[in-house]
Structure 1
Amino acid sequence: METESGSAPSTIFGPQLRRLTVAMLVLITLSAFEALAVTTAMPTISSDLHGLRLYALAFAAPLATGVLAMVVIGNWSDRRGPRLPLLVTVVLFTVGVLISGLAGSMTVFVLGRVVQGVGTAMVVPMYVVVARVYPEGLHPKIFAAFAAAWVVPSLVGPLAAGLVTEHLGWRWVFLGVAALVLPAVALLIPGLRDARLAVGSPEVAWVPQRIVAGVVVGAAVLILHTVTGDAVDWPPMIMVAAALAAVLAVVIAIRQLAPERTLRFGRGLPAVVGYRGLIGAAWIASEVYLPLMLKQRFGLSPSAAGLVLTAGAVAWSLASWVQGRIGSRRSDVLVVRLGTALIGVGAGMALLTGALGLPPLVAIVSWGLAGSGMGLMYPRLSVLLLRFSTPSQQGFNSSAGQIAEFTGMALSLAGTAALFALLINSGVIAYLAPFAFALIIVAAGVLISGRVLPSSTVAEPPESVAEPVG
């Protein structure tokens, strides 16, 4: 892929791509920081705004609107190119954090979170930008950089948010992010002047059924997080029925939001999209409950228990860098299978640590192996997704990958929450169940990992590979 000067970029930080690369990495980092920091600040926010009853909704609302936004933004990017969709989502993200930071009531704060959820769909047009502007040989490096951009916030985000909340006030957790978006946009705009980013495929029509399906998935995710987060006081049977109905709605609606045969992990693109949901489910099932087990079972302080997350984040970052250096020198299937197996090692050692009373350091170090698995695998799946996407389907397929990951994590959290609640009076078993749940998912992933490549790998995928249902 050549620039207007006739020479193809050789590095993601070269003169042709430097501003665009830095701008996108800064935006991903800010989005990640905000997502992590709000968890730290939320107890203070709900107290100051007298909105404890809306506590769970403040987390669930942006997740729900994010799904719908990914659907619309993906369709828009295919029709008109990624330039305008990316700018609009960045603006909406900024508006959302400003509304939340200036909120005088919990209702207004939640409204800001709703707008933020729409803005987080910025990652969809970013994928299309990569497909249009970055040579294919640089795709492993830029996706490795995207993965690494989440790591710094995971290391310092909660601590920084706590210090800001304590010394400056919780509002600056949001207002500070909004202020830092401005220099990123200043770098982004020149990079978006590339004519290829304004070229779409007008023959790609708006698909109303996908938008309706996005609404259904978003509403179902909202219901799942509500009934599993103690936000309502319904009878148990009604809560179970609501959760099952929400899961069924997701399964039905997702068929409109992903390539055909995704739920069956059809070879090639469908399996790549489905695998994003699978590994997201396995990862979140363990990561959420590891600090809880270390604190409750072994009596570690919150900061000491948090070391397990740091280990995973650092290993993820290092493995992403290694993956970017490896490029295509290792088989796609080998990398995906190895990454999945390493997540299994992390979950399995966490289970053994809790069951056998092993030193907590065993679980912490082992979760570093799980993080390295994600760092190796995640960028490779992103590369495969674009490789198997025709230009007219880059936006749709990018949004499908994000939606699959998001819904996989949401379903996994609902499942582990139900297991934990069911076994809460069974002692240590309740803390081990999520890891067993993750291991089942990992085992399935290892078995089907070979399906991420078509039966006969070709340079250009046939148009039918990327066709959505309906």
Structure 2
Amino acid sequence: MRKTHRPLTTVALALSLFMAALEMTVVSTAMPTVVSDLGGIQHYSWVFTAYLLASTITVPIFGKLADLYGRKPIILAGIGLFLAGSVASGLAPSMGWLIVFRTLQGVGAGSIQPIALTVVGDIYSMEERARVQGLFSSVWAVSGLVGPLAGGLIVRWLSWHWVFFINVPVGLATAGLLVACFHENIVKQKRTLDIAGALLLALGVMALLLGAQGQGNRWVPLAVAAVLLGAFVFLESKVKEPVIPPSIFKSPTITIASICSALFSAAMFGSTTYVPLFVQGVLGGTPTEAGGIITPMMVVWPLCSIVAGKLMVKVGFRPLIVGGLGLAGFSTVAMAMLLKPGVPLLLPAVAMGLFGAGLGFASTALLISVQMSVGWELRGVATASSMYFRTIGGAVGVGAMGGVLVAKLTADPRVPVSAANELLGPEHGLGLGEQMLRQLSGALAEGLSANFWIMAVVSVLAFAVSFFFPRVRPGATPGTGAAAMH
């Protein structure tokens, strides 16, 4: 059995996370320009929610597959799907096709991030893991700096299509390193996957998202979601190999961490989706300025994550979680109150920085606390479940906010949707006429203001729930060693 080369494996995992982080900042930068080119502002949120929905559905499935068949084949398959979706998205001829290809990209993303973090839990001890988290945090910092600048330059000098193509060399390098350097010793045994459970989960989450969008009769899909997800919970308690073992939620650590993760992720994905739109559509900023507004969050988050990794052993998980989510809640309330037409760009930048600081402290502690609550045989599904609740929170949150925005923009039937597309173009709707421009800008500002208040509410709820997090010290839970390192 060949031995894993830990340094090069860590580099490969860092590259995979860099690709995921770069995707977030670059696409957010380019989206207003994409809308002005392809049209379809009424489907704006679906470019993000389709990606999040696909990754939400597949995260627990990939996590379970990683526990059954090993981490390596699953993360390699995810990278392949992610790259295929990236290339197809770059070639998309319409907004509809872009949404389809972003869905494929999301399926791949459902494997990459949770399995990468699971591998870190496998090959490093708890003390080492905190230091490696610092390395991964610096990766997010670099991508936070490079992404908006690269996205703005690509949109300006090439075209928005190229923001998707930049994933290809990074993904190929990642896959090559993992093939050569990461090795596992998987025990051969008969394994099964709960296909029925996976299907119920997928259909239930899809129905939930349709209901969250709030267009048409929302109660029908919400009722369907309740039935399907209820059936999923019942089935998981009966099958031998459940997609998400109900037993892991007997741990208060995992239960509270899952709730907090879902709530703060709704605000996080909402901010990366709609704050750039506010900058470009309401404040009249450039694509580079719109994407750059995310940079403070993407830089401060990992820096605070590094600090959290060092403090965790000394103070435990709970102070970092409560304090971090409190800071995140304060920053989103400030955004909801202060982000109005005419504010200086410095204001949303500072708010995003504070938001990132809070999540840097809280998210690191939440993830490691979950991994420390189980042994190797459940670490993949536990990590994936944590990521699942993050992505479902983000998908439902962004979907609900998208429904609010569309409702505001289409409230007046005299205002065509094409005018909203033009508002996001390089001339910011200069040819629309003063009255139309004023009316449309006002509707966009109202819709985004409502979304900022939604972000504030879910952030404050996450802070409130964090007080129920148990007083668990690092090292007092199962799975503290590097048992799976070979």
With the length of structure 1 as denominator, give the TM-score of the two structures: 0.77
CA distance 1:167–1:242, change in 2 (3 Å)? farther
Q: Bigger shift: 102-111 or 273-282?
A: 102-111
**1:8 equivalent in structure 2:** none
| Counterpart in the other structure of 1:192 | 182
Residue number in structure 2 paired with 1:317: 302
Asked if 1 retains the 8 angstrom alpha-carbon contact of 2:322 and 2:463, the reply is yes
Deviation for aligned residue 1:327: 3.6
Match of 1:382 among 358, 367, 377: 367
2:324 matched to which residue of 1? 339
- Deviation per residue, 1:371-397 (Å, 9 max, x gap): 111111111111111101222211211
In the TM superposition, 1:106-185 aligns within 5 A as 112-120=101-109, 121-185=111-175
Q: Which moved more, 1:175-184 or 1:428-437?
A: 428-437
| Shift, 1:438, TM fit | 3.1
Q: Distance in 2 between matches of 1:445 and 1:60?
A: 21
Q: Which amino acid aligns with 2:57?
A: L
Alignment CA distance shift 1:418-1:266 (3 Å)? farther
Of the structure 1 ranges 413-422 and 308-317, higher mean CA displacement relative to structure 2 is found in: 413-422
> Which runs of no fewer than 5 residues in structure 1 stay unpaired?
6-14, 229-235, 463-470
Aligned residues: 438
1:27 matched to 2:26? The reply is no
The match for 2:264 is: 279
Aligned to 1:372: 357
CA contact (8 A) 2:209 2:399 kept: no
Q: Give the 3 Å change call, closer, same or farther, for CA 241–200 of structure 1 in structure 2.
A: farther
CA distance in 1, matches of 2:468, 2:187: 30
Question: 2:276, 2:41 → 1: CA distance?
Answer: 24
Report the AA paired with residue 63 of structure 1. Answer: L
CA contact (8 A) 2:153 2:288 kept: no
Q: Residues of 1 paired with 2:457 and 2:302: CA distance?
A: 26
Q: Unpaired runs of 5+ in structure 2? A: 237-242, 412-441, 480-486
Whole-Å separation in 2 of the counterparts to 1:366 and 1:58 = 25
1:436: which partner in 2?
A: 453
Q: Distance in 2 between matches of 1:240 and 1:437?
A: 18
What corresponds to 1:79 in structure 2? Answer: 68
Higher RCO, Cα 8 Å, sep 6+? 2
What secondary structure, in the 3-state scheme, does the structure 2 residue paired with 1:206 have? coil
Cα separation, partners in 2 of 1:296 and 1:409, compared to 1, 3 Å: same
Q: What are the within-5 Å matches in structure 2 for residues 27-426 of structure 1?
A: 27-41=16-30, 58-101=47-90, 112-120=101-109, 121-193=111-183, 197-199=184-186, 202=189, 205-220=192-207, 223=210, 227=213, 238-242=216-220, 244-245=222-223, 248=226, 252=230, 255=233, 258=244, 260=246, 267-293=252-278, 303-304=288-289, 306-354=291-339, 361-420=346-405
Tell me: CA distance 1:368–1:337, structure 2 relative to 1, closer, same or farther (3 Å): same
Measured against aligned partners, the alpha-carbon deviations of 1:318-360 in whole angstroms (never above 9, x if no partner) come to 2122223334112211000010011112112223324799766
Judging changes above 3 Å, is the alpha-carbon distance between structure 1 residues 459 and 453 closer, same or farther for their aligned structure 2 residues? same
Q: Kindly provide the amino acid, as one letter, of the partner of residue 240 in structure 1.
A: R
Cα separation, partners in 2 of 1:254 and 1:46, compared to 1, 3 Å: farther
Query: For 2:468, what is the secondary structure of its paired residue?
Result: helix
Whole-Å separation in 2 of the counterparts to 1:223 and 1:351: 25
Closer, same or farther in 2 for the Cα pair 1:169/1:275, shift >3 Å?
same
Maintained 8 Å contact 1:93/1:117: yes
| SS of residue paired to 1:452 | coil
Which region of structure 1 is more displaced relative to structure 2, 299-308 or 42-51?
42-51
Distance across 1 between alignment mates of 2:43 and 2:388:
25
Superposition RMSD in Å: 4.0
Q: How far does the alpha carbon of each residue in 1:211-240 deviate from its partner, in whole angstroms, 9 at most, with x for none?
A: 123321452366358x56xxxxxxx6x343
State the Cα deviation string for residues 21-80 of structure 1 (Å, max 9, x = none).
111111111133234434445577678889999876554443333233223211111112
Residue identity over aligned pairs, in percent, reads 24
Cα 1:421/1:50, change in 2 over 3 Å: closer
CA contact (8 A) 1:101 1:173 kept: yes
Q: Return the alpha-carbon distance in structure 2 between the equivalents of residues 36 and 64 of structure 1.
A: 18
In structure 2, the CA distance between the partners of 1:456 and 1:123, relative to structure 1 (3 Å rule), is closer
* Native 8 Å contact 2:18 2:143 kept in 1: yes
Specify the code of the residue in structure 2 equivalent to 1:192. F
Q: Hey, what's the Cα distance between the residues in 2 that align with 1:378 and 1:35?
A: 17
Amino acid at match of 1:153: S
Residue 222 of structure 2 aligns with an amino acid whose one-letter code is: L
Distance, in Å, in 1 between the alignment partners of 2:469 and 2:123 is: 25
The alpha-carbon deviation at position 82 of structure 1 amounts to 0.9
TM-score (norm: length of structure 2): 0.75
Out of 46-55 and 152-161, give the one that drifted further.
46-55
